[in-house]
Amino acid sequence: MLRAYIAALRAAPPQALPPRRTVRRVTGWLTRRPATPSEDERAALKDVLARCPERDTAAEHVQGVALLVSSPAKLA
């Protein structure tokens, strides 16, 4: 019984893991102007942020600082 179970596990193809995103790449996505990333990059960033609420909160803070630095007149 155990042998049949293990044989079934070995016969199953391994599940494909999502591509790993480097810290450098994700940081680049967060710090670029919003119009610069491609649709694929936007979708990948959305996926990365959806997996971790803390990362999503950090992204909101980064975007707020970017808005402050790029156009302080809008906030006044």
4 inside domain: no
58 inside domain: yes
Over residues 7-66, the pLDDT tens digits come to 888 877 777 877 788 999 988 888 887 777 788 888 999 999 998 899 999 999 998 888
30 inside domain: yes
Q: Please list, in sequence order, all residues whose beta carbon lies within 8 angstroms of the beta carbon of residue 75, skipping any fewer than 6 positions away.
A: 67, 68
Domain that holds residue 37: 25-70
pTM for the full predicted model: 0.60
Over residues 22-37, the pLDDT tens digits come to 999 988 888 887 777 7
Q: Please list, in sequence order, all residues whose beta carbon lies within 8 angstroms of the beta carbon of residue 63, skipping any fewer than 6 positions away.
A: 30, 34
2 inside domain: no
